[in-house]
Structure 1
Amino acid sequence: MNAHQTLLPVQAKTTAHIAFSKAPSGASYVSRQEVGYPFHLGRTLKLPQDPPGMAAIYLQS
């Protein structure tokens, strides 16, 4: 009854939710993000080889 109990930490599921939208100009952008530890969402990039209006992002951990 008074025995020592070891409590283990609760393991939360790691997720990253990213939503893209299209601006009136035709360019895509990150319109919503829910990114928690251990992730980090970098800025929107425009790379030379990307199709016109396409956004590129880096998701880092």
Structure 2
Amino acid sequence: MKIDIYHHTRNRFVAVRHTHAVPESWAGARYFKTIDLKPDDVRYGLGHAAQVLAAIEETGYAAI
């Protein structure tokens, strides 16, 4: 799944589906990058990819 990652001034990141809006609770977050994330990917600082993807499917975003 392609996801967009945004950075907030609180030094937190949020991931959403590619081209989807950032949740209102993350207003002010700035675009960081787009990645193609697969459930078995290992990426430093992202946590478990499968959990990130499940959160995006369930709530529309994942705090990372």
Same fold per superposition (TM over 0.5): no
Structure ranking higher in helix proportion: 2
Q: Higher relative CO (CA 8 A, sep ≥ 6), structure 1 or 2?
A: 2
Q: Highest CA radius of gyration, 1 or 2?
A: 1
Task: State the TM-score, normalized to the length of structure 2.
Answer: 0.30
